[in-house]
Structure 1
Amino acid sequence: MRWQQLFADLQAEFDEAAAAEERAQLPSRARSETAAVRLAERLGGAVGGRVSLRCRGAGEVGGRLDEVGPDWALLTDDAGREVLVSLAAVVAVSGLLRATAAAEPAARVRAAPDLRRALRGLARDRSAVGIVLDDGALLTGTVDRVGADFVELAEHAPEDFRRSGAVRSVRAVVLAAVAVVRTLTPGAA
């Protein structure tokens, strides 16, 4: 009986030492896991909520966060316009709750269409857009095509539809310079 008590005491000591080691590793493990979270994944937990993104060239862009891709976020602003934001242009985010972590599995966010594919959707829809570049310049027109590292914009006045007589020029814009893309409503002016 004394042997059984001795083994039980040793097992209890071992269990307590293992639990103490586990507790000591928790903060380090949490920091390590947090260090692996990308901005797109962090934003994924805030989908449906209101956020504000501070962007190079475009300033504060706020609204309801509708969707997040690996390198973009889609918001609906207070005017009801869709706003596509390049995450490469984002310098700060506000409106995230502490509890918002990667709600979507990271692999799902990474598998979503990238910025080029999102812009190709605008080209297919023939949507009039305003493109804010990372230097603050605003270009308006219709996305004609999207290449590997550029977007081609048929420039026209925001209130006009894309018609050959309305197009002032066609401009290729480097994707890395695109900060924000807002949908416009031609003919609304």
Structure 2
Amino acid sequence: MRWERLFAELDARFDAEMSLERDAEIADRTRRERAQIPLYGRLLANVGRGTISVRLPGGPGPRVIVGTPSDVGPDWLLLVDTAHQSVLVPLAAVRSITGLHPGALEASLVARRFTLGAALRGVSRDRAAVDLVDVEGQVLTGTIDAVGSDHLDLAEHAPDEPRRARHVVRTHVIPIAALGSVRRR
């Protein structure tokens, strides 16, 4: 009887140590898997799932855009804000996000190639008037005329006038790295 108790106790200790080892292995694998998840994947899992707040640089205080993610690219986020306007946000300009649901998705190869430049070219092709906010908070209103590999040309004009040569006040060349957000008017 004494031997049986000893072996039972040894078995119980062994099982407990194996359980701790398994739990540590699971935790380690979970950390490694999480380390592989890009922000893009987290945002992709939140498309259409509710309101988030995105903090951006610029202005005298924090600049926050509140909206629902409607589309995501590898380096951009499209939000529909509370006024039902589309706001294109470069991920490089994002300082923090609140309200994300847990989880992540992996994008298709085609979706991963749809970069911020491609999204900006779509806005340019539509000839939509935009409010462009740079990372310092300065707002320019106009139409994106062209998008290069690392910059865009914005024809500045009054928000209530169409993009015509006679309405253009000046043309700005803006590095894409300087973009804070682009809101369609």
| TM-score of the superposed pair, with normalisation by structure 1 | 0.82
| Separation in structure 2 between the aligned mates of residue 64 and residue 28 of structure 1, nearest angstrom | 33
Give the CA deviation at 1:106.
4.6
Please tell me the root mean square deviation across aligned C-alpha atoms, in Å: 2.3
Aligned match of 1:89: 93
In the other structure, the counterpart of 1:29 is 29
**Match in the other structure for 1:101:** 103
> 1:63 and 1:179, CA in 2 relative to 1: closer, same or farther beyond 3 A?
same
Q: Is the 8 A contact 1:44 1:101 kept in 2?
A: no
1:119 CA drift (Å):
0.3
Whole-angstrom distance in 2 between the partners of 1:29 and 1:81 = 41
2:60 matches 1:68: no
Tell me which residue corresponds to 1:5: none
Kindly state the Cα deviation for residue 108 of structure 1 after the two structures are TM-superposed: 4.9
What amino acid sits opposite 2:39 in the alignment? Answer: L
Q: Give the deviation of 1:73 after TM superposition.
A: 0.4
Specify whether residues 28 and 107 from structure 1 end up closer, same or farther in structure 2 by C-alpha distance, changes over 3 A only.
farther
Residue in structure 1 matched with residue 56 of structure 2 by the alignment? 55
Q: Is 1:118 aligned to residue 122 of structure 2? A: no
Counterpart position of 1:46:
46
Aligned length: 170
Q: How far apart in 1 are the matches of 2:57 and 2:90?
A: 10
Contact residue 68 and residue 109 of structure 1 kept, 8 A:
no
Is the alpha carbon distance of 1:116 and 1:24 closer, same or farther for their aligned partners in structure 2, counting shifts above 3 Å? same
Q: Secondary structure at the match of 2:165?
A: coil
- SS at 1:165 equivalent: helix
Q: Distance in 2 between matches of 1:117 and 1:111?
A: 11
Alpha-carbon distance in structure 1 between the residues aligned to 2:113 and 2:53: 22
CA shift, 1:165, in A, is 1.1
Tell me, which stretches of 5 or more residues in structure 2 are unaligned? 1-10
CA distance in 2, matches of 1:141, 1:179: 15
2:82 equivalent to 1:78: yes
How far off is 1:109 after superposition? 8.4
**Counterpart AA for 1:84:** L
SS at match of 2:84: coil
In structure 2, give the amino acid aligned to 1:81.
Answer: Q
Q: Does 1:140 align with 2:144?
A: no
Return the letter of the residue paired with 1:35: A
Provide the rounded CA distance (Å) in 2 between the counterparts of 1:64 and 1:25: 37
State the percentage of identical aligned residues. 42
Unpaired segments of 5 or more residues in structure 1? 1-11, 185-189
Instruction: Give the TM-score, by structure 2 length.
Output: 0.84
Letter of the aligned partner of 1:126 in structure 2?
R
Greater shift, 57-66 or 127-136, is seen at: 57-66
